[in-house]
Chains A and B, each alone.
Chain A
Amino acid sequence: MRGILKLAHKLLVNDTAKFTAMLVGITFAVFLMMFVTSMFSGVLKHASSTVINIGASVWVMDPAVNTVSNSVGMPGYVLDAVRSMQGVKYAVPLYSGGALVKLADGTYQSVTVIGLDDTSLFGRPELIEGKIEDIYAESGFIVVRDAEFAKLQNPYIGSELELNDHRGVIVGIAKVPTSGLYGIPTLYTTYERAIQYIPNPRYTTSYVLVEPKSASDIPQIERQVAALGYRARTKEEFMQRTADFFIYQTGGGTNMLIMTLISFIVGLSLSGQTFYTFILENLERFGALKAIGTKSRDLVGMILFQATFTALTGYGLGIGLCAFLVWLAKRRLPSYAAMITFSNLAIALGMVVVIAAVSSYVGVRRVLRIEPFDIFRG
């Protein structure tokens, strides 16, 4: 069989023009599919950045919350109630909100402010400069050094900033696993300072972060929180909720789906058509092979091999091109959201397999239908 496959390979790649056209079609389709889905994956991940960075197992929130950045304040008794629930090891409040910082040159910059529980500082970021206890110092803020750091004019320890007419002092510089989606810098401070500095509605607790005694306690915690009229979600459920919001309620999912389908159709039509032409051009020769004594299954094997080889080569090139461009973009724009995931790779592979299957199906049909007698008749 190896010789027959080598024969199929040579017939394919030696037809440089068609092979190139098919590769370009599949590469382009895979590139587009990967790019769109990677961008969307990146957006979803960055949209859940606070959930990832804080790292709490269970988040208690108002049922109306769709994404972590759009919190709905909860009254203080929720925290007390959660702390008294069965299965809860400990529970702390978290503040998450937005504010305006007045910079030294008089301009304003939006920031995300995360207020950590004053007692435990649960969810604190990893510091790369400064000491965490300095967060308790007067007007202390920790700034995250991410792609948006420069928007605060590259602050350093001791830098002062004006936040809603309050003086703030940078006491530490931190790093976090994932930067935010909206392209604005992040400041960490204590919960009490956050609600003191930032004008708030009546209820100030954005989330209650819960550590269950064990994973098996989570369902009963969820039930008890639901009985209060609130919602407890695990970290994964909250990230999924955020993803669902972006996919189903913002139009982003539909756009991604349309783009992916367009890429698929472009790839299918370009490669499928070229592969079909390739088969048509060689139809008489396939008929001659049949006359000489090639079995139908060998001919099918040859065509499937040609389609698979083209599809997988195009897939590899498409992935490579996408990875290269994402890498290039991230060098220029550190906050560039695109992220290649195994799911993206699997989706693109699935679509490429469909392209290969459809292309080879039409080719196989034509080759199986040709009668060697037609070769004699000319």
Chain B
Amino acid sequence: MTASKDIVVTNARGLHARPAMQFVDLANSFTSQVTVSKGGPEPIEVDGKSVMQMITLEATQGTQLNLKADGDDAEAAVSKLAELFESKFGEE
């Protein structure tokens, strides 16, 4: 089963280390494989369960990302992970 959703980074500081870790922690609570991709001039796709890879998205405020999950709990994973972005990771 696969699920995917487009999201926008809305917190002012973007996807810096702390939010990236929060994302990875949550992603790791699902059995599905999680990938995050960014389009634009330099498209990139990374493993949503690796902090180091997530940082290389260089996702600043306003960046559009696609969350994708593949596995038994794909839908729950995508919806919970998208909520994290919506909550701005508890930031402004």
Specify whether A and B are partners.
Answer: no
